[in-house]
A = this chain, B = another copy of it.
Amino acid sequence: MSDETKAGIGTMTVTQVGIVVRDIEKTARAWADVFGVAVPPIVITDGLDKAHTQYRGASSTAQAKLSFFRFGQVSVELIEPIGEPSTWLDFLNTHGEGVHHIAFEIAGMDEQITYLTSKGVPLIQRGDYTGGRYAYTDGEPRLAVILELLENFR
């Protein structure tokens, strides 16, 4: 890691913009139609046994349907919440449909969560997926948006 990228969370590259929606099949078809691309697959996140989802420090059986559109360096991720509690459902209930988070690929999940907590951006939800793990941190009060950390195992 170069000196340039050591500050903050160790990266200055946004890799994903996540949008919470009520009907992912409908919204994925609309994105495909508007941008002239094929409708991507819709996947369901792992259950608690594999994802080990933690919402505000307690296990949650919440899941989500996901669909991804690639826009250069950035993927737009559509997210439809399934079950509760989750940061996705909280967002839908509070703000309605819209951009839930921007995501960064980081190294060292626990130390980055500790760093962000020290900066007033505390953990909301975390979990695992095949090949990596994620954490949502509550950037809303200071940064006006939730930050997602993604750590992919190499």
A→B interface (CB under 8 Å): 6-9, 12-14, 17, 19-21, 27, 30-31, 33-37, 70-74, 76, 78, 95-99, 102, 104, 116, 119-121, 139-140, 142-145
Main secondary structure of the interface of A (DSSP, over half): mixed
| 22 A-B pairs with C-beta separation under 8 A | A7-B36, A8-B36, A12-B35, A12-B37, A12-B70, A13-B73, A14-B74, A14-B76, A17-B17, A19-B144, A19-B145, A27-B142, A30-B142, A30-B143, A33-B119, A34-B116, A95-B98, A97-B140, A97-B144, A98-B98, A98-B99, A98-B144
Give the oligomeric copy count.
2
Residue from B21, B72, B74 within 8 A of A144 (CB atoms): B21
